[in-house]
C-alpha cells in the first residue's frame, strides 16, 4: 500500500486566468511532458457542456477530457492516478483497482477518489464509460450505418436536418473548449517563437494543410509533416525544444500520428491536439487539447467543427500578431 501525502486535502480553486500543471508521462521510452492549461472558468463551462443523465452520470466528454478539466482540483495523490492513466490510456483504467493503483504509484483509495472526482458513481461505472468510449472510437463507417437511420428513398428534409446537426456540433464544440486553452494556442502562435509544425491523419491531413497555408502568410517557420515513415527522420531533424506542433486526429485514429507525437515529445516540442469528442491517443503527449464534436449519428462523422476551429485559430492568431502579420502580408502582396 502506498501512503498518500495529502489524504483528505484539496487545493484551493484557481483564481488566475492561466496556470499550467506539468506531469512526466512514461507511456513511451521517452519521458514526455504533459501540461494542462487551466482557466478559472473551466468548471462552469464543463458543467454547461455536459449532460447529467438519469443515472447521475455526466455525458458529453471522454474520460481523458474530464481529466483535463478536473486536474486543477485534484489532490497531489489523485494527480498521480491521473498521470498514470493518461500515460497508458485507456488500458490502465480497465485493470482492477489494485493494479491501477500499483502502476500509477498511488493507493487504491486514491484511485477510487480520483474516479469519483471525475464524476463517476463507482469504479465499475468508470470502466463502463471507458469501454463505451473504446467502442465508439473504433466504430467503422459500416458499423455506424447499421446503428443509424438510413433511408434509400426520397428525403426532402435531409439537408435541413444535416445542417441543423452540424450547427449543433459547432455550438457544442464552442462549449466544450475552454476559452483559456483556445486563447493560449493562438497567443503561442502569435509569438512567432520557434518553428510551427502541422500534421494530420487520413481524414484530417487537409486541415493541417489548410492551416499551414494561412499561417505561412502571417508568421515565419511554418512547416508541414507528411507523416510518412520514410521521410520522418529528415522532417524531424530540425525540431527544437519549445517548437510548436499542431496535430489533427479523429476516430478511427491514425497510428502513424502516435509515432509522430512520440518523436515530437522526445524532442521536447509543445504539442497542441485538435481532435474529436472521444479524444485521440495523441492527447497523452499534448500540452493543450481542443476537442470538437463530430458525431452525426450517420455513416460518416462530420469534421466541419474542426474546420471552423482551424479558421477561428487562424483569425485570432492574425489579430494577435497584426503588427508583424500585416507587414508580412503587405510584403507578400507587393511581390
Is the sign of the CA dihedral 47, 49, 53, 59 positive or negative? negative
Rounded CA separation 146/158 (Å): 18
Domains (range + CATH), the chain: 23-138 (1.10.10.10), 168-334 (3.40.50.10490)
State residue 93 phi and psi, 5-degree precision: -70, -15
| Cα–Cα distance, 68 to 86 (Å, whole number) | 10
If the chain, 335 residues long, is cut into consecutive pieces of 10 residues, what is the mean pLDDT of each piece? Answer: 42 33 33 32 33 41 82 89 84 94 94 96 95 76 55 75 93 89 97 96 95 97 85 89 97 90 96 90 89 84 94 98 96 90
pLDDT of residue 9: 42
Residue 46: the pLDDT is 34
pLDDT of res. 186: 98
Q: Three-state SS string across the chain, please?
A: CCCCCCCCCCCCCCCCCCEEEEEEECCCCCCEEEEEEECCCHHHHHHHHCEECCCCCEECCCHHHHHHHHHHHCCHHHHHHHHHHHHCCCHHHHCCHHHHHHHHCCCHHHHHHHHHHCCCCCHHHHHHHHHHHHHHHHCCHHHHHHHCCCCCCCCCCHHHHHHHHHHHHHHHHHHHCCHHHHHHHHHHHHCCCCCEEEEECCCCHHHHHHHHHHHHHHCCCEEECCCCHHHHHHHHCCCCCCCEEEEEECCCCCHHHHHHHHHHHHCCCEEEEEEECCCCHHHHHCCEEEEECCCCCCCCCCCHHHHHHHHHHHHHHHHHCHHHHHHHHHHHHHC
Amino acid at each position: 500500500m502506498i501512503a498518500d501525502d495529502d489524504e483528505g486535502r484539496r487545493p484551493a480553486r484557481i483564481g488566475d486566468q492561466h496556470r499550467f500543471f506539468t506531469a512526466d508521462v512514461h507511456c513511451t521510452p521517452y519521458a514526455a511532458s504533459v501540461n494542462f492549461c487551466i482557466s478559472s472558468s473551466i468548471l462552469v463551462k464543463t458543467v454547461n457542456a455536459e449532460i447529467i443523465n438519469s443515472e447521475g452520470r455526466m455525458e458529453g466528454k471522454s474520460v481523458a477530457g474530464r481529466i483535463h478539466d478536473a486536474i486543477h482540483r485534484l489532490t497531489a495523490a489523485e494527480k498521480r492516478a491521473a498521470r498514470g492513466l493518461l500515460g497508458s490510456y485507456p488500458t490502465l483504467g480497465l485493470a482492477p483497482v489494485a493494479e491501477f493503483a500499483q502502476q500509477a504509484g498511488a493507493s487504491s483509495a486514491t484511485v477510487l477518489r480520483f474516479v469519483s472526482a471525475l464524476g463517476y458513481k463507482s469504479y465499475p461505472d468508470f470502466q463502463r464509460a471507458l469501454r463505451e468510449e473504446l467502442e465508439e472510437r473504433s466504430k467503422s463507417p459500416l458499423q455506424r450505418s447499421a446503428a443509424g437511420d438510413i433511408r434509400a428513398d426520397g428525403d426532402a428534409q435531409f439537408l435541413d436536418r444535416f445542417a441543423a446537426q452540424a450547427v449543433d456540433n459547432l455550438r457544442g464544440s464552442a462549449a466544450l473548449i475552454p476559452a483559456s486553452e483556445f486563447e493560449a494556442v493562438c497567443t503561442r502562435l502569435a509569438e512567432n517563437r520557434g518553428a510551427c509544425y502541422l500534421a494530420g491523419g487520413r481524414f484530417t491531413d487537409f486541415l493541417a494543410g489548410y492551416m499551414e497555408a494561412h499561417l505561412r502568410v502571417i508568421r515565419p517557420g511554418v512547416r508541414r509533416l507528411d507523416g510518412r515513415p520514410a521521410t520522418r527522420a529528415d522532417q524531424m531533424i530540425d525540431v527544437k525544444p519549445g517548437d510548436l506542433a499542431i496535430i489533427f486526429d479523429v476516430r478511427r485514429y491514425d497510428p502513424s500520428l502516435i509515432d509522430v507525437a512520440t518523436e515530437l515529445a522526445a524532442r521536447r516540442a509543445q504539442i497542441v491536439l485538435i481532435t474529436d469528442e472521444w479524444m485521440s491517443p495523441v492527447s497523452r503527449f499534448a500540452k493543450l487539447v481542443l476537442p470538437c464534436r463530430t458525431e452525426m449519428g450517420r455513416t460518416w462523422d462530420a469534421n466541419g467543427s474542426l474546420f471552423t476551429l482551424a479558421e477561428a485559430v487562424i483569425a485570432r492568431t492574425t489579430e494577435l500578431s497584426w503588427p508583424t502579420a500585416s507587414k508580412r502580408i503587405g510584403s507578400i502582396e507587393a511581390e
